[in-house]
Structure 1
Amino acid sequence: MKKDWWKDAVVYQIYPRSFQDSNGDGIGDLRGIISRLDYIKELGADVIWICPIYPSPNVDYGYDVTDHKTIMDSYGTMEDFHDLLDEVHQRGLKLVMDFVLNHTSVEHPWFKEAELDKNSKYRSYYLWRPGTKNGPPTDWVSDYGRPVWQYEEHTGEYYLHMNAVKQADLNWENPDVRQAVYDMMKFWLDKGVDGLRIDQLHLISKKEFLPSYEDYVNQRAEPKPFQPNGERIHDYLKEMTDEVFSQYDVMSVGEVGSVTPEEGLTYTGTDKHELNMIFHFQHMELDQQPGKAHWDLKPLELSDLKSVLSKWQKTLEHKGWNTLFWCNHDQPRIVSRFGDEGRYRKESAKMLATVLYFMKGTPYIYQGEEIGMTNAPFMRIEDYKDIQTINMYHKRVFENGYDPEEVMASILAKSRDHARTPMQWSSGKNAGFTDGTPWLKINPNYTSVNAEEAEADPDSILAYYKKVISLRKQYADLIKGSYDLLLPDDPQLFVYVRGNGNQQLLVVNNFSKEQAVFHWPELCSKDQASLLLSNYKNSDIADEMVFQPYESRVYLLNERE
């Protein structure tokens, strides 16, 4: 197998609960995924990443695990999984599993024993602290809107949960915990799985004493002192690589929160022997107010986006490797977020693909992104299932006195459920997702936004994604080459050049709903340029060109004179 094969791969992410239901129970499953593998293959993807399919009480829909070594009944059986893995490999594709190792469900056998007996060996698998006369050990609040310490009556102590109350954090200081986790990772890799995506990796190393929440708020410390990448994180990763990843030819990617490019290089540097790549979220935080929660909205400034993406490209250019993503199971739909889900849905979705997927790194395409799925117009909190969304609504409306309309505006923009509405396969019953009642409401625009319609339209977003993926592979050497941003301060145009040797790619994008004027740069004569891709039909080359709303063009530049 080719060394570093993941550098040439395109990843398609599946949220299995919402992808395809095969048995009519309204929940997507493994057999459903098998039935859609040809669609993924035809898109041009090489790797499939599947969100957790392990047994779970579904407090956080799969990210609260009770058993890491089997399959949740609603998704199928281990036999179904083996069939899926075989079918994936028969098509020349690879399969990456999602792995949750910062926490378990409180229904996990480890925690069930730990909460009953302070002398159990599993007690030290979790983080327990005695309370004080004033309550919990610290006053920190999780991203799920609740205190991070939960009182457990049987033993009279608090356990730590950085997420939902029923997701208890594991104690990575305990070597027995680490070895148990490594054993679970090997269980799946020994089956032939081609890689692991590690959830919330940045939380596994924690500071011993959590600072006061009030101190953080008053000092406006960034990033949050209780979250980021504690001092032992790299010790753990080196150990994990030595004991697990180095023993297999697999892909490793970790979710590490709001790190800087320089910090990102400490994870992915070729001399670090840790991870192949990481998910950071700097570009995903640009439409929220600084120092506030992601619910606190502000308009995106294009200059900020250009700065963040370009810095990651340049910092990791020679030693590290980027992930390229707009969407995932935790992020709203990008065409609703940074594009125009109305009049220019198709144009802006194509533009967003052009901006990102000609950069250096491994592209991650989230289910439905390739057909331009949008945020759902759910106006009632009762229509949402996401615990993070529901907790925020109740806290802000009923505890903090926010205007319900203001809170719903944030939910309509940022709820994770926008990514989790069922995949829109057709204009038929329930969008072709299920014959039963969907576990989550389907976006009502499925009658016009669906894969069947997109496959029949040669000018669809899906067709454009296929062209982008094909060009990435055709010009892989150029895309892996140098990166230079042009016009950094232009409020409309996102322009950059990729190069390697005697050829370059010029990528020009109008990131706005107004026309924009682009002047041909001096780096190459326009007579030496040829158009490779455009999302508009009339794309003549001239010294001065008017770009239409959300117009994108990619030029191949030949050797300079």
Structure 2
Amino acid sequence: MTWWREAVGYHVYLRSYRDSNGDGIGDLPGLLARLDHPRDLGADVVWISPFYPSPQADYGYDISDHRAVDPLSGTMSDVSTLVAEAGRMGLRLLADVVPNHTSVEHPWFRAGLTDRYHFMPQPPNTWQSMFGGTAWTQAPDNQWYLHLFAPHQPDLNWASPVVAEDFDRTLRFWLDRGFAGVRIDVAGGLAKDPDYAEIGEGIHPHWDRPEIEAIHHRWRKILDSYDGVAIGELWGTPERIAERVKPGQLHQVFQFDWVVAPWEELKDTAINAVTALGKVGALPTWLLGSHDLQRVASRYGLTRARAKALITFALPGSAWIYQGEELGLPDVEISDGRDPGGRDGVRVPMPWDDSPSFGFSPTGRSWLPQPAGWSTLTVTAQSEADDSTLSLYRKAIALRRHLVGRPVEWLAGDILAFRRGDITCALNTSDQEIGLPGELLLASGPVGDCVPPDTAVLCRRY
């Protein structure tokens, strides 16, 4: 089956989705209570951020046990209930798995099993952490270990067969519990140069190396045996992404170039992605943002964000929504940020209604502060407004059902415009009005006989 090729996905950052027990931190029962939201939005699949045991140095991405549930998030029974209820609602679930690193509290690291990590008598290079500073930290035994992220997250050594076999067990563990697949964190960073060479020209010493093909192929066989899907977090050109989703590799890779593309380059970015992936029989996996990146409403402004969302749902391929994008939430300035990567501003808890903490927690607590001005952005408020961003998303996803499976025909001109079947889709990235290309079905903003700049439309051909 290939249900995932043009699915709509919804990304739940669990800690900020909904709190059920009043501690101010989102959890699995909270997700269960609001699982109707992605269903009503029109999503097919929900990806849940890590809920495994963790010291929370990187809020769940520093894992001490990859096959258990952190009490902060709930219980294994909650997982079973969530999978069952999602199935009843017609939703699939994806687990978020983290193969690049563990927590320093993982039993392997605590036991000093150096063959499963990258330990050296002294730093062999000047590699830098993604969070800033050196990627090498000295352990109590005076050896140095590699961490491409925080010092609390030592990188695993994928040259060790034990590491690969253990991750096989992790994949099967969650697939056996009813998950439809996995989102794979840092999918392109697992293979390291065995000589730990400095970064220079040619093959990068620790990003997107040829050796990861064998690792991805191993995962693919496991996922295919469950009819599951593996979506990789991997940055690269469309040509590099095409290499990673060719037959036998990952099913999908997020199209991060679409997230960060300048407004005037969206046309070329879309065409290049569809063209490159089409050569290997794949479709792009679009997303507008994530828990790691600036929100789309802050990157482009809300008017353009709405337009980009509408055209994203019309493009061939799957499309992912990060929680809150459907509400037009902006980044929030957090004065006392806690995240080691400085990403608190895109992780502020969801606003549901006009009760304390906007309905996030029954006690009104919230692990990050929510702006008072969000009262008009809640799910409840926007559900009642026909012109809200939430209503736009719901309508766009409903219309998308008429496009799925239809080939794309790119239209000439300076703007991003294409046909799929009898529907013409256009995003006006110019500074001039353009003619309405048919009978209007949906627009991202006000239109008359012409489409204003920074506006997208879906039209049926006259």
Instruction: Flag whether TM exceeds 0.5 (same fold).
Output: yes
Structure 1 residue aligned with 2:433: 517
Are 1:506 and 2:433 counterparts? no
8 Å contact kept, 2:434–2:452: no
Match of 2:338 among 366, 373, 385: 385
Match of 1:496 among 410, 417, 430: 417
Structure 2 residue aligned with 1:548: 452
8 Å contact kept, 1:268–1:321: no
Structure 2 residue aligned with 1:360: 316
Matches of 2:454 and 2:8 in 1, distance apart? 24
**1:275–1:385: structure 2 CA closer, same or farther, 3 Å change rule?**
same
AA at the equivalent of 1:322: P
AA at the equivalent of 2:55: P
Are 1:165 and 2:151 counterparts? yes
Structure 2 residue aligned with 1:402: none
Are 1:532 and 2:441 counterparts? yes
Any idea what the Cα deviations from partners look like across 1:112-132, whole Å, max 9, x if unmatched? 002xxxxxxx3211111121x
Structure 2 residue aligned with 1:322: 284
**What's the % identity of the aligned pairs?**
33
Match of 2:372 among 444, 447, 450: 444
Match of 1:191 among 168, 177, 182: 177
**1:153–1:535: structure 2 CA closer, same or farther, 3 Å change rule?**
closer
Structure 2 residue aligned with 1:13: 11
Cα deviation, residue 508, structure 1: 1.9
Cα deviation, residue 89, structure 1: 0.8
AA at the equivalent of 1:15: Y
Structure 2 residue aligned with 1:54: 52
8 Å contact kept, 1:377–1:443: no
Are 1:126 and 2:121 counterparts? no
**1:232–1:448: structure 2 CA closer, same or farther, 3 Å change rule?**
same
Any idea what the Cα deviations from partners look like across 1:400-453, whole Å, max 9, x if unmatched? xxxxxxxxxxxxxxxx22221000112321111112421111133211211110
Are 1:311 and 2:311 counterparts? no
Q: Which moved more, 1:172-181 or 1:231-240?
A: 231-240
Matches of 2:126 and 2:312 in 1, distance apart? 40
Matches of 1:282 and 1:538 in 2, distance apart? 29
**1:261–1:537: structure 2 CA closer, same or farther, 3 Å change rule?**
closer
Matches of 1:535 and 1:83 in 2, distance apart? 37
The count of corresponding residues between Structure 1 and Structure 2 is 460
8 Å contact kept, 1:328–1:366: yes
8 Å contact kept, 1:498–1:504: yes
AA at the equivalent of 1:337: R
Structure 2 residue aligned with 1:335: 297
Q: Which moved more, 1:174-183 or 1:548-557?
A: 548-557
**1:348–1:208: structure 2 CA closer, same or farther, 3 Å change rule?**
same
Matches of 1:444 and 1:476 in 2, distance apart? 39
AA at the equivalent of 1:535: S
Structure 1 residue aligned with 2:43: 45
Matches of 1:56 and 1:548 in 2, distance apart? 49
**1:428–1:555: structure 2 CA closer, same or farther, 3 Å change rule?**
same
Structure 2 residue aligned with 1:65: 63
Are 1:453 and 2:381 counterparts? yes
Cα deviation, residue 188, structure 1: 0.8
Matches of 1:432 and 1:104 in 2, distance apart? 33
CA-atom RMSD in angstroms: 1.9
Matches of 1:28 and 1:277 in 2, distance apart? 28
Structure 1 spans left out of the alignment, 5+ residues: 115-121, 287-299, 390-415, 489-493, 521-525
Structure 2 residue aligned with 1:29: 27
Are 1:370 and 2:370 counterparts? no
8 Å contact kept, 1:424–1:446: yes
AA at the equivalent of 1:129: M
Matches of 1:29 and 1:510 in 2, distance apart? 40
Structure 2 residue aligned with 1:463: 391
The TM-score normalised by the length of structure 2 is 0.94
Matches of 2:409 and 2:195 in 1, distance apart? 42
Matches of 1:268 and 1:316 in 2, distance apart? 8
Structure 1 residue aligned with 2:96: 98
Structure 2 spans left out of the alignment, 5+ residues: none
Structure 1 residue aligned with 2:258: 283
Are 1:430 and 2:430 counterparts? no
Matches of 2:354 and 2:288 in 1, distance apart? 26
Matches of 2:117 and 2:318 in 1, distance apart? 35
Higher relative contact order (CA 8 A, sep 6+): 2
Cα deviation, residue 309, structure 1: 2.5
**1:130–1:468: structure 2 CA closer, same or farther, 3 Å change rule?**
same
SS across alignment from 1:430: helix
